[in-house]
Chain A
Amino acid sequence: MSFCVQYSRSLRQHLKKSFFKVFTCCRYKSSDCSKHGELSLELDGYTIRKAVKQDCQAIHSLIQELANCLKMPDAPQIDAKALEVDGFGRRSFYEGFVAESHKFNQVVGYAVYYFTYSTWQGKSLYMEDMYIRPEDRKNRIAVSFFHLVSQAALIENCTRLNFCVLESNKPAAKLFQSLGAVDLTLKEGWHYYRIPRLGIEELAKPSIISTFNSQI
């Protein structure tokens, strides 16, 4: 649930105005977006495509860069192998898009997402992370990620696209609000809660029932 988006005010205004014009200068590899795997597009100098298993090493490096950007360098705990197993193994826990630089033949940005469910409105999509290297920003990659993730959402007939943003990440929050996103924490009072692994293990024990019995 992390984004590192640092845009100048003038670029944000430019993005908002030119947002819907950006696709006139993009060439789609496939006009038939009926399957997620065919979702891709070409920008000037970049290819935005679906992530594959072989991208996990590069994605892992960028995850670390994003954590550094958020000033939480010790936060990432999983390696590239875990990303491979969890995304491309027996059961896929996430999907992703990557931005590949033509100049260096290198993955310079990624967006990771997965499908979720709203008991009120049905199938939804959650965007967990989006990150682009600083030197590759201002090239429409971020909006391209949002575009392809939105297409992936529509293929599954999703009614919501959710994500979390740190309160301190004002540039990202402003960009997302300019794209029509609503801050539900401010608007409706939703707070995001977490029980960590140790807490899960405690809760899973049979003894928990007698510990709390008759109180809940």
Chain B
Amino acid sequence: MDHDKYAIRKAIKEDCESIQRLIQELADYEKMPNGPQLDPKTLEQDGFGTRPFFEAFVAEEKESNQIVGFALYFFTYSTWQGKSLYMEDIYVQLQHRRKGVGLSLFRSVSQAALSENCVRLNFSVLNWNSPSIEFYKSLGASDLTEKEGWHCFRMNRTEIEQLAHHNA
């Protein structure tokens, strides 16, 4: 990465508006533009309140002072291997790609993982996202869905409420 042009730093509360804008851009890229439901205020409360639910790094273009990329993550746990890190999102704007920014974000997240002595760095990728798949495999990532047969399951709010309450 050209360190004269870009800087990677830990995200702060004031970055949430920019991060929310990039979250929307990533959703557009993933062909799910109606996915994002959060506003910057919620990101501020959830990431920088009394109990942070995530941490993040941002990539800043020095000349414009604009945030052009981000990586958002949180710590998880493997009952087999212990502390782990899950990278929820990583995104760099199109015009700033192929300049080492994505890799620098990955490096910062990896350092965060090591600071907590994590043994795994996990994330999810859409199976058609070939450029990203190629990038992640070049970094040593393996596709556990293909390799071991793990499938990602989800229950949404409605199902959670039904499970939690006894008033069906």
Contacts and interface: CB of A to CB of B under 8 A. Distances in A.
Interface of A: 1-2, 19-20, 23-24, 59, 63, 66-67, 75-78, 82-83, 86-87, 93-94, 112, 114-123, 126, 128-129, 146-147, 149-151, 153-154, 158-168, 173, 176, 179-186, 188-206, 208-209, 212-216
A77 B80 contact: yes
B150 A166 contact: yes
B107 A203 contact: yes
Contacts of B93: none
Nearest to B159: A180
Nearest to A78: B82
Contacts of A198: 140
Contacts of B159: 161, 179-181
Nearest to B91: A119
Nearest to B78: A128
A115 B53 contact: yes
Contacts of B47: 117
Q: Which 10 A-B pairs have the closest CB atoms?
A: A180-B159, A199-B140, A167-B149, A23-B166, A150-B163, A20-B168, A150-B164, A203-B110, A191-B145, A189-B127
Interface in B131-161: 135-136, 138-146, 148-161
Contacts of B81: 77-78
Contacts, number: 273
Contacts of A59: 79
Contact of B80 (A67, A86, A147, A193): A67
Contact of B37 (A2, A24, A121, A164): A121
A117 B46 contact: yes
24 contacts: A24-B166, A75-B80, A77-B119, A86-B83, A116-B86, A117-B53, A122-B37, A150-B164, A151-B164, A159-B157, A160-B154, A160-B160, A165-B153, A183-B152, A190-B126, A191-B124, A191-B126, A192-B144, A194-B141, A194-B144, A195-B139, A203-B140, A215-B98, A216-B98
Given A193-B142, A199-B121, A216-B101, 8 more contacts: A158-B160, A179-B163, A180-B158, A180-B159, A191-B143, A192-B150, A192-B151, A202-B140
A191 B42 contact: no
Contacts of A147: 163-164
A36 to B, nearest CB: 12
A120 B166 contact: no
Contacts of B143: 191-193
